[in-house]
């Protein structure tokens, strides 16, 4: 009887465990789709904050917040002033003040704020070269910035100036010669202290190139200045085969959750969708008894993973904008320069002053694409002398789309602009782009209901860093060029099923 009761209890326990496993929520990568590269993350109480490279687009340094590392919504942009291409920032909270250190224009800068929502300070030039700054402070309050190639430099107590010469203290982890990589490229240092050790996490192998290039490497030391001992589990994360879903995985930052479990955020290119850029990915980390961290067995970046601890928040997913808030939406960034004097709002429309005579020099208003297939539509009014366009934009040399003035519709193909459907234009019109797995059709309409397909279509899979450089990705752009103004109404973005 006792044996039978014991068996029943064991079966009930197994059943309950199975039911619990069923109810356990899981997530799939990416946690942020689109070109959110070089993630830097911190936890402040129960809230996580994250920032990424913003490259040549302004306002820059968009800060995100989350309670569970998976559902994210935007907070604010920390950088308004054009400093050139902004790469690999480091988001820090130190003595109740927030800092973002970042490289641009062959130097490094810092911006600060008393609250994560700002206002953020004007950028301060630290007047030191190198890239990818990573902040660390010791128990005595000494502060340092690490950089690429294993260098560090001392910081002032307020964190706003460099106080000494940069010194090299870390050589990196030796990559086997027969591995297929882009370059050695020791970059992206991130540091934290746990127990008696400081941990240095870096990227090696090159951020693009072959699928197997990039990787996450770890070292530790009892001093923030070394000597550094490489982890026996290196590389912590790496794409091992080009058949994998995520390529060039690297540039990792570690963070713990409210239950004391550890996670790593990093980036990677999606196989066959390089033009979406490097997307933000998340995996758990486990600690060994001898004080190293590693990637757990049976965790795969492209499979479902158990959710981290933390409350859900409503994530921000819609890129559509009806322009009724009378301010620039979080999703919009201008190429090279954010000039607020070009923008005004009138009766549910964003009014954009024209600039330049081509898409490349018009400094278009852009947003990141985040899906394999999607459709973008906008209603617009064109003043005489202006030309409006809806384009797919990589940089000022690589863009294509459809344009319109008061008389004609234009094809814009690889920078070549030509009038096609003549004398059919109108001051009030609708434009549409439809991207189905890299093949793009373009349409125009007088009422937003009946659409005419433009004769030309596009193939855009090659618009990526491995071909074009600049570490950029394919974006949707709203363009106002020539003279006059363009009124944009009801921009709609929606993902399309494959």
How far is CA 65 from each of CA 51, 58, 280, 283, 386, rounded to the nearest angstrom? 9, 20, 14, 18, 39
Higher pLDDT, 241 or 19: 241
Write out the two tokens for 312: 């859900």
Q: Report pLDDT for 177.
A: 97
Cα(158)–Cα(121) distance, integer angstroms: 14
Cα(429)–Cα(450) distance, integer angstroms: 12
Q: Report pLDDT for 467.
A: 96
CATH number of the structural domain 27-306:
2.115.10.20
Interval 41-54: pLDDT, tens: 999 999 999 999 99
Write out the DSSP string of 79-103: E-S--S-B---EEEEETTEEEEEEE
Kindly indicate the confidence band of residue 422, based on its pLDDT and cuts at 50, 70 and 90. low
How far is CA 171 from each of CA 135, 150, 184, 394, rounded to the nearest angstrom? 18, 6, 11, 35
Question: What would the mean pLDDT of 338-350 be, rounded to a whole number?
Answer: 95
Question: What would the mean pLDDT of 102-126 be, rounded to a whole number?
Answer: 98
Cα(298)–Cα(300) distance, integer angstroms: 6
Write out the two tokens for 462: 């090659």
Question: What would the mean pLDDT of 80-93 be, rounded to a whole number?
Answer: 97
126 close to 108: Cβ distance less than 8 angstroms: yes
Q: If DSSP codes are grouped into helix, strand and coil, which group holds residue 308?
A: coil
Q: What is the pTM of this model?
A: 0.93
User: What does the mean pLDDT of the chain come to?
Assistant: 93
Question: What would the mean pLDDT of 250-261 be, rounded to a whole number?
Answer: 96
Question: What would the mean pLDDT of 209-232 be, rounded to a whole number?
Answer: 98
63 close to 75: Cβ distance less than 8 angstroms: yes
Tokens 């005419």 sit on residue: 452
Tokens 């994998």 sit on residue: 244
Q: Which CATH number fits domain 333-495: 2.60.120.200, 2.30.30.30, 3.40.50.720, 2.60.120.510?
A: 2.60.120.200
How far is CA 406 from each of CA 16, 218, 382, rounded to the nearest angstrom? 68, 59, 7
Domain boundaries, the chain: 27-306, 333-495
Angle at 67 between CA 50 and CA 497, to 5 degrees: 80
Q: Where are the beta strands (DSSP E) in 205-332?
A: 215-221, 229-230, 237-238, 246-256, 262-270, 279-287, 293-294, 305-306
Question: What would the mean pLDDT of 49-70 be, rounded to a whole number?
Answer: 98
Question: What would the mean pLDDT of 374-400 be, rounded to a whole number?
Answer: 96
Interval 5-42: pLDDT, tens: 555 445 444 444 444 344 579 999 999 999 999 999 99
Q: Report pLDDT for 21.
A: 42
Write out the two tokens for 470: 């600049």
Q: Are strands 374-382 and 365-368 parallel, antiparallel or unpaired?
A: unpaired
Question: What would the mean pLDDT of 417-441 be, rounded to a whole number?
Answer: 84
Q: How many residues does the chain have?
A: 498
Nearest to 270 by CA among 477, 89, 458, 35: 35
Question: What would the mean pLDDT of 184-197 be, rounded to a whole number?
Answer: 98
Kindly indicate the confidence band of residue 2, based on its pLDDT and cuts at 50, 70 and 90. low
């Amino acid at each position: 009887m006792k044996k039978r009761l014991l068996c029943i209890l064991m079966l009930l326990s197994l059943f309950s465990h199975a039911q619990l496993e069923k109810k356990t929520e899981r997530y799939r990568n990416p946690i942020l789709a689109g070109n959110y590269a070089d993630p830097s993350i911190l936890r402040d109480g129960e809230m996580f904050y994250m920032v990424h490279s913003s490259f040549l687009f302004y306002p820059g340094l968009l800060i995100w917040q989350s309670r569970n590392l998976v559902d994210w919504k935007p907070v604010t942009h920390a950088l308004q002033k054009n400093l050139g291409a902004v790469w690999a920032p480091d988001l820090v909270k130190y003595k109740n003040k927030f800092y973002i250190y970042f490289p641009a224009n062959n130097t490094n800068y810092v911006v600060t704020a008393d609250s994560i929502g700002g206002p953020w300070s004007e950028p301060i030039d630290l007047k030191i070269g190198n890239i990818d700054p990573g902040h660390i402070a010791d128990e005595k309050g000494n502060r340092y910035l690490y950089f690429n190639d294993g260098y560090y430099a001392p910081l002032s107590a307020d964190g706003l100036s460099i106080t000494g010469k940069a010194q090299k203290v870390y050589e990196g982890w030796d990559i086997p010669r027969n591995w297929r990589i882009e370059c050695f490229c020791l970059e992206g240092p991130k540091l934290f202290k746990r127990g008696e050790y400081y941990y240095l996490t870096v990227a090696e192998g090159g951020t693009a190139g072959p699928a197997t290039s990039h990787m996450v490497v770890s070292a530790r030391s009892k001093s923030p200045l070394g000597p550094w001992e490489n982890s026996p589990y290196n590389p912590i994360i790496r794409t091992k085969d080009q058949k994998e879903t995520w390529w060039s995985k690297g540039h990792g930052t570690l963070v713990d959750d409210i239950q004391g479990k550890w996670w790593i955020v990093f980036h990677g290119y999606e196989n066959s969708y390089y033009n979406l850029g490097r997307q933000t990915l998340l995996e758990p980390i486990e600690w060994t008894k001898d004080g190293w961290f590693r990637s757990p067995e049976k965790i795969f970046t492209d499979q479902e993973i158990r959710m981290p601890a933390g409350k859900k928040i409503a994530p921000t997913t819609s890129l559509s904008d009806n322009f009724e808030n009378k301010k620039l939406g979080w999703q919009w960034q201008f190429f090279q320069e954010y000039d607020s004097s070009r923008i005004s709002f009138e009766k549910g429309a964003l009014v954009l002053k024209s600039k330049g005579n081509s898409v490349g020099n018009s400094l278009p208003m852009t947003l990141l694409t985040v899906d394999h297939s999607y459709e973008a539509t906008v209603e617009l009014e064109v003043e005489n002398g202006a030309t409006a366009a809806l384009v797919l934009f990589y940089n000022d040399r690589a863009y294509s789309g459809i344009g319109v003035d008061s008389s004609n519709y234009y094809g814009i193909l690889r920078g070549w602009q030509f009038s096609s459907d003549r004398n059919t234009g109108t001051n009030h019109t609708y434009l549409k782009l439809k991207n189905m797995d890299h093949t793009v059709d373009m349409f125009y309409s007088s009422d937003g209901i009946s659409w005419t397909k433009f004769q030309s279509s596009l193939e855009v899979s090659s618009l990526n860093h491995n071909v074009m450089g600049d570490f950029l990705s394919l974006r949707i752009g709203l363009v106002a060029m020539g003279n006059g103004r363009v009124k944009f109404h009801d921009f709609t973005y929606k993902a399309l099923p494959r």
